[in-house]
Chain A
Amino acid sequence: DAMVIQNPRYQVTQFGKPVTLSCSQTLNHNVMYWYQQKSSQAPKLLFHYYDKDFNNEADTPDNFQSRRPNTSFCFLDIRSPGLGDTAMYLCATSRGQGQQYFGPGTRLTVL
């Protein structure tokens, strides 16, 4: 089945230790998004790739970076995680401006 896959599903890291979250898709969608969802809050868009073009949201901290080596994969890098970065990270894809399809999320805990 075509889908959006996120790995790992759960990740624990230490304060300040870089971490990378992975998202892959078999939908062949050209747009990939990363959302952050803190406990009991709404998902919030961090950034997205439209094809190879990176689009950052104005209030996304510099600590968060992203890479998209090819159409299928997109990575979220947190250079120096803080305790406040503990959250669920959701990846989504779309074809152009169409409907977004979400992955199951990676729950990140920073200790």
Chain B
Amino acid sequence: GEDVEQSLFLSVREGDSSVINCTYTDSSSTYLYWYKQEPGAGLQLLTYIFSNMDMKQDQRLTVLLNKKDKHLSLRIADTQTGDSAIYFCAEIETKAAGNKLTFGGGTRVLVKP
């Protein structure tokens, strides 16, 4: 079965880099996703990486994918107070009808001024 795991909490000083780690189990996932959730809000897609890529950079965000170890990470450069939120990684199971996202438990990121 699918199981996606993340560390629970990360505290970082404003201006430093944040690195959030994730491990997944479904090697057939074609894409892996990072979502951001602010308090009381829905899920905002931050970025995603195709499974045949090792790295993707998108402004302050860098995603690294190690398929051999089934390890995904998200690096946020120059972390700002507005980056304080819960970050979820997700793997995708493609079905004949739609697809299914399986989320990790979320990493709460606290940015200190």
Q: Interface residues, chain A, CB within 8 Å of chain B?
A: 6, 31, 33, 40-45, 48, 50, 53, 55, 57, 90, 92, 94, 96-97, 99-105, 107
User: Hey, which chain B residues are within 8 Å of A97, CB to CB?
Assistant: 94-95, 98-99
Instruction: State A99–B101 Cα separation when bound (angstroms).
Output: 10
Given contacts A42-B103, A50-B98, 9 further A-B pairs with CB under 8 A are: A42-B4, A42-B105, A43-B88, A45-B100, A48-B97, A53-B97, A55-B97, A104-B42, A105-B41
CB pair A100–B101 under 8 Å, yes or no, is yes
CB pair B97–A50 under 8 Å, yes or no, is yes
Min CB gap B88→A, angstroms: 6
CB pair A43–B98 under 8 Å, yes or no, is no
Q: Interface residues, chain B, CB within 8 Å of chain A?
A: 4, 35, 40-45, 48, 88, 94-95, 97-106
CB pair B40–A102 under 8 Å, yes or no, is no
Instruction: State A45–B43 Cα separation when bound (angstroms).
Output: 14
User: Hey, which chain B residues are within 8 Å of A40, CB to CB?
Assistant: 106
Which residue of chain A has its CB nearest to the CB of B96?
Answer: A50
Which residue of chain A has its CB nearest to the CB of B106?
Answer: A42
Top 5 closest pairs, chain A to chain B, by CB: A50-B97, A42-B103, A104-B42, A102-B43, A31-B98
CB pair B94–A103 under 8 Å, yes or no, is no
The answer to whether A99 and B105 touch (CB under 8 A), given A53-B97, A94-B99, is no
Min CB gap A84→B, angstroms: 18
CB pair B105–A45 under 8 Å, yes or no, is no
The answer to whether A99 and B48 touch (CB under 8 A), given A41-B105, A42-B88, A50-B98, is yes
Which residue of chain B has its CB nearest to the CB of A41?
Answer: B105
User: Hey, which chain A residues are within 8 Å of B97, CB to CB?
Assistant: 31, 48, 50, 53, 55
